[in-house]
């Protein structure tokens, strides 16, 4: 018997979900195929620099999934399943606030948190919980019905949860149990054949298509599985050439000549899928739903809190100019200008301004008299700075992705007071502290600086702008 450590379980889980999702949504396989060729063409054209934000092996295997659950109990159980694969909650996203239309969810992402674990397999799952207790979306009567419907279903059964707990405790499983865990966990996210109550689904859909997708069905499923590409604009054009309708634009930062920051995402529109319904007259038969789509992303450099503040400012500035009629109403055109005016156009510029996170290593032995401050060590070619890739999500892009795939705005009553959710309350629900993404990046940067001092054999003086 062979013992499979956590990271192998995670690798197998990601691969198995990808296989399953491809059989459910064939257009996903097309997306993966196009992504793979975009990546190999990019590496062929750009050479070594292309892999600055992740090796081609990592990027090609890289996926993020999105799932949606209906209650604190279901979220806590999902957390136990993900923990078995070394995926822990990071970041808090309140999409109720980020979205203009009706998206009644709060979210976190389950992902590996250590650099070595991320390098082995970075699989992450954006996980949203329906806020059934938010009166802006659900009346008191509907809340009660919804909560009852959700509490009577089982998304993750006891054998799965027990095996997941064992894998977490032991840091892996012997191979035959590992296989069983991966199979059971994958099956939990498979689309079911159990009939969907048509009247109930439509009632929720009037409020929010997201609420119907979560609380209108007897189980959960992968909403999308997202490959990563090195050139999202190339991907976008190639998909359109294949006749696949993409959403109007790429979400997040624009394409420009400077460094890629954070995360750029786009998707193809939700496809019509067959589902089994129980109709109002009691008959069971086929109908269709449009909720699952294909998303793709390009990842850039992780920003420090100051960098993120600048990003948020640039978004607001882009909005302001768009509203004033600049750029012919095209967001990406305006954003590109705003980027040029505000953001340093080199990685070293970002680093010196304390806007992004980096790791540091010795690149060449020092000759002669060497400086001791970091900037000079880099300028002299003694130390090399490598950008840390952004491993998380963006609330506004997430809201944009949710919204662009809704056929209807839904309804919300903003006169009501919304329920409070925060990183703390969601941590309590999950029973495990949700990590602050900034702390993870800062910790990684600090650890590399500590190692650098050991390797150089002397302390390194750091300018105040660097933030760790
Ligand atoms: C999640 C949407 C957010 C992303 O990549 O920002 C997301 C969902 O549709 O459930 O996946
Ligand atoms: Ni996504």
377 and 415 together in one domain: no
The parent domain of residue 463 ranges over 357-388+437-468
Number of domains, the chain: 2
Nearest CA to ligand 1 atom 1: 66
Q: Report in angstroms the alpha-carbon separations of 361 from 60, 195, 205, 278.
A: 26, 57, 53, 61
Q: Report in angstroms the alpha-carbon separations of 114 from 163, 177, 223, 293.
A: 23, 25, 26, 30
> Is the C-beta atom of 93 inside 6 A of ligand 1?
no
How many Å lie between the centroid of ligand 1 and the Cα of residue 128? 8
Burial of 44 (0-12, 13-18, 19+ CB in 10 A): exposed
On whether residue 309 sits in a domain, the answer given is no
On whether residue 420 sits in a domain, the answer given is yes
How many Å lie between the centroid of ligand 2 and the Cα of residue 369? 50
On whether residue 378 sits in a domain, the answer given is yes
On whether residue 316 sits in a domain, the answer given is no
Angle at alpha carbon of residue 53, lines to 47 and 59, rounded to 5°: 85
Distance CA 18, CA 308 (A): 32
Which pLDDT score is estimated for 398? 86
HSE toward the beta carbon, residue 80, CA cutoff 13 A: 20
269 and 374 together in one domain: no
70 and 97 together in one domain: yes
Q: Give the containing element (helix H, strand E) for 303.
A: none
Which pLDDT score is estimated for 465? 53
Torsion of CA 203, 204, 207, 209, to 10 degrees: -120
How many Å lie between the centroid of ligand 2 and the Cα of residue 126? 7
366 and 402 together in one domain: no
How many Å lie between the centroid of ligand 1 and the Cα of residue 67? 8
| Nearest ligand 1 atom to alpha carbon 397 | 6
Which pLDDT score is estimated for 410? 83
Which pLDDT score is estimated for 216? 96
Mean pLDDT by 10 residues, the chain (468 residues): 96 97 91 95 90 89 96 98 98 89 93 94 97 95 97 97 98 98 98 93 93 95 95 94 86 95 90 91 92 91 98 96 92 95 97 97 82 92 96 90 75 89 97 97 97 94 63
| Of 70, 263, 393, 405, best ligand 1 pocket probe by most atoms within 8 Å of the beta carbon | 393
295 and 381 together in one domain: no
Distance CA 7, CA 28 (A): 24
116 and 183 together in one domain: yes
252 and 362 together in one domain: no
On whether residue 444 sits in a domain, the answer given is yes
Sign of CA dihedral 36, 394, 79, 105: negative
290 and 267 together in one domain: yes
74 and 214 together in one domain: yes
How many Å lie between the centroid of ligand 2 and the Cα of residue 397? 9
Q: Report in angstroms the alpha-carbon separations of 405 from 228, 245, 246.
A: 20, 12, 10
Contact 143, 151 (CB under 8 A): no
Ligand nearest to the CA of 252: 1
On whether residue 331 sits in a domain, the answer given is no
> Is the C-beta atom of 106 inside 6 A of ligand 1?
no
Distance between terminal CA atoms of the chain? Answer: 44
Number of helical H runs and strand E runs in the chain = 19, 14
| Of 66, 101, 251, 290, best ligand 1 pocket probe by most atoms within 8 Å of the beta carbon | 66
364 and 271 together in one domain: no
On whether residue 241 sits in a domain, the answer given is yes
Nearest CA to ligand 1 atom 8: 66
**CATH assignment of the domain containing 416:** 3.10.180.80
> Is the C-beta atom of 220 inside 6 A of ligand 1?
no
293 and 375 together in one domain: no
| Nearest ligand 1 atom to alpha carbon 68 | 10
> Is the C-beta atom of 403 inside 6 A of ligand 1?
no
Distance CA 18, CA 233 (A): 23
How many Å lie between the centroid of ligand 2 and the Cα of residue 115? 21
Which pLDDT score is estimated for 468? 43
219 and 119 together in one domain: yes
On whether residue 351 sits in a domain, the answer given is no
Contact 226, 293 (CB under 8 A): no
Which pLDDT score is estimated for 101? 78
> Is the C-beta atom of 401 inside 6 A of ligand 1?
yes
> Is the C-beta atom of 66 inside 6 A of ligand 1?
yes
pTM: 0.95
């Amino acid at each position: 018997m062979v013992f499979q450590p956590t990271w192998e379980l995670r690798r197998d889980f990601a691969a198995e979900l990808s296989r399953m999702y491809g059989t459910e949504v064939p257009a996903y396989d097309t997306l993966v195929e196009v992504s793979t060729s975009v990546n190999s063409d990019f590496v062929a054209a750009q050479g070594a620099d292309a892999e600055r934000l992740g090796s081609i092996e990592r990027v090609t295997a890289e996926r993020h999934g999105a799932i949606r659950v209906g209650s604190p109990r279901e979220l806590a159980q999902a957390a136990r399943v993900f923990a078995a694969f070394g995926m822990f909650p990071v970041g808090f996203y309140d999409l109720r606030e980020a979205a203009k239309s009706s998206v009644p969810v709060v979210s976190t992402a389950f992902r590996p948190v250590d650099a070595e674990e991320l390098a082995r397999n970075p699989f992450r799952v954006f996980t949203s919980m329906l806020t059934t207790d938010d009166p802006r979306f659900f009346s008191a009567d509907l809340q009660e019905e919804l909560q009852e419907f959700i509490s009577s279903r089982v998304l993750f059964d006891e054998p799965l949860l027990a095996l997941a707990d064992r894998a977490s405790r032991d840091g892996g499983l012997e191979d035959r149990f590992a296989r069983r865990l991966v199979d059971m966990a994958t099956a939990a996210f498979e689309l079911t054949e159990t009939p969907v109550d048509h009247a109930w689904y439509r009632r929720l859909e009037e409020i929010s298509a997201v609420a119907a997708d979560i609380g209108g069905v007897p189980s959960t499923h992968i909403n999308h599985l997202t490959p990563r590409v090195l050139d999202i604009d190339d991907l976008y054009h190639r998909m359109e050439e294949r006749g696949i309708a993409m959403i109007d634009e790429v979400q997040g930062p624009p394409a420009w000549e400077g460094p890629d920051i954070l995360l750029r995402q786009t998707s193809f529109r939700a496809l019509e899928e067959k589902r089994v319904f129980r109709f109002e007259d009691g008959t069971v038969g086929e109908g269709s739903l449009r909720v699952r789509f294909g998303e793709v992303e390009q990842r850039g450099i992780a920003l420090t809190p100051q960098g993120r503040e600048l990003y948020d400012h640039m978004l607001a500035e882009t909005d302001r100019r768009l509203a004033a009629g600049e750029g012919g109403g095209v967001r990406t055109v305006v954003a590109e200008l705003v980027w040029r005016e505000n953001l340093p156009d080199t990685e070293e510029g970002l680093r010196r301004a304390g806007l992004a996170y980096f790791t540091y290593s010795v690149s060449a032995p020092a000759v002669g008299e060497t400086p001791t401050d970091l900037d000079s060590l880099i300028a002299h070619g003694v130390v090399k700075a490598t950008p840390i890739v952004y491993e998380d999500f963006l609330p506004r892009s997430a809201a944009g992705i949710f919204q662009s795939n809704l056929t209807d705005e839904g309804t919300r009553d903003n006169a009501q007071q919304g329920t409070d959710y925060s990183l703390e309350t969601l941590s309590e629900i999950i029973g495990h502290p949700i990590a602050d993404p900034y702390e993870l990046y800062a910790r990684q940067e600090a650890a590399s600086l500590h190692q650098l001092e050991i390797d150089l054999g002397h302390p390194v003086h750091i300018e105040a702008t660097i933030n760790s």
